[in-house]
Structure 1
C-alpha cells in the first residue's frame, strides 16, 4: 500500500517536472520571440522561469535519487562481501539522513525568512524559491529513510541497468 502511494507520488512529481519544463520553454521562447519580433516582452516570465528552474532542479534530485540515477562510486563496495555492502549501505543512508536534516533545517530557516521579501516584478514571495529546498530535503530524507529500512530488513537494493532505471 505504501509502495503504491510512493509510486503515485513520484509519478505526480515527474509530471510536475514535465509541466514546469514545458512552462519554462514556452515562457522563455515566447519572450524571445516577443523581444525580437515585436520589441516587447513579458517581464514576469524571467522571474517565473527562474522560480520554476529552481523547483525543477530540487524536485528532480528527489526523483533521480529514487531511481538510483545519481553519480555513485561502488568499486569498493562491490568488492565487499554481502555483510560489508549492507554495513556500507546503512552507514551511507545514515549520513544522507544527517545531511538531509541539516539541509532541511537551513532551507526551512531561509524559506521562512524570505516569505516577506517579494520578487520585484511578479510579487511572488522569495520564500517560495527556498521552499523547493525544503521539499527536496524532506523528499531526499524520506527516500534515504526508506532505503535504510530496506537495508535493516536485509532487502537488497533494486538492480539498476546501465541507464539507471530499476531492473525487472
Structure 2
C-alpha cells in the first residue's frame, strides 16, 4: 500500500519534471527566436528557466533516490557477507539522513532569510528558490527513513542490500571481458588449434 503511494508520488514528480522541462524549452527557445527575429524577448525567461532548472534537479534527486539510481561503487559491499552488507547499508542510510537534515536546516534558514527578498525580474519571493531544498530534504528524509526501517526490520532481500546497480555499459563490458578470457583460455590449452 505504502509502496504504491510512493510509486505514484514519484510518477507525479516525474510528470512535474517533464512539464517543467517543456516550459524551460519553450521559454529559452522562444526567447532566442524573439531576440534574433523580432529584436525583442521575454523578460522573465532567464530567471524562470533558472528556477525551473533548480526545481528539476532537486525533484529528480528524489526520484533517483527512490530508484537507487545515485552514483556509487559496490566494489567492497558486494563482497561482504549478509551481516556486513546490512551494517554498511544502515551506516549509509544514517549518514545520508544526517546530511539530509543538515541540508534541510540550511535550506529552511535560507528560505526564511530570503522571504522578503524579491527576485530581480519577476519580483517573486526568493524563498521559492530555496524551498526546493526544503521539499527535497523532506521527501528524501522520508524515503531514507523508510529504507532504514525496512533494513532494520529484515524486510530487505540480500540482493537489495547492495544499492548501487551496474550500468548497462558496465555489464556489457564485463560480458565482453569474460568472453575474451574464455577465448584466451581455449587457445592456450594443450592441443588447441592456433
Q: Shorter-chain TM-score category?
A: over 0.9
The 2-side partners of 1:22 and 1:16 are apart by: 10
Corresponding residue for 1:133? 133
Tell me the residue number matched to 1:97. 97
Distance 1:131 1:16 in 2: 16
- Quote the Cα distance in structure 1 between the aligned partners of 2:115 and 2:50: 17
What is the rounded CA distance, in whole Å, between the counterparts of 1:71 and 1:123 in structure 2? 37
Q: Which of 1 and 2 has greater Rg?
A: 2
* Counterpart residue number, 2:22: 22
Q: Distance in 2 between matches of 1:120 and 1:78?
A: 50
Identify the residue that residue 65 of structure 2 maps to in structure 1: 65
- CA separation in 1, counterparts of 2:137 and 2:52? 17
Structure 2 equivalent of residue 81 of structure 1: 81
Paired residue total: 163
Give the alignment's TM-score, normalised by structure 2.
0.80
| Partner of residue 167 from structure 2, selected from 141, 162, 165 | 162
Unpaired segments ≥5 residues, structure 2? 169-194
What is the TM-score when the length of structure 1 is the normalising length? 0.92
Give how far 1:132 is off: 0.3
C-alpha distance in 1, partners of 2:13/2:166? 22
Q: How far is the alpha carbon of 1:18 from its aligned partner?
A: 0.2
Structure 1, unmatched stretches of 5+, are: 164-168
Partner of 2:7: 7
Shift of 1:161: 6.2
- Return the offset for 1:145: 1.0
| Corresponding position: 1:144 with 2:144 | yes
* CA–CA separation in structure 2 for the residues paired with 1:62 and 1:80: 28
The separation in 1 between residues aligned to 2:121 and 2:77, in whole angstroms, is: 51
What is the deviation of 1:36?
0.3
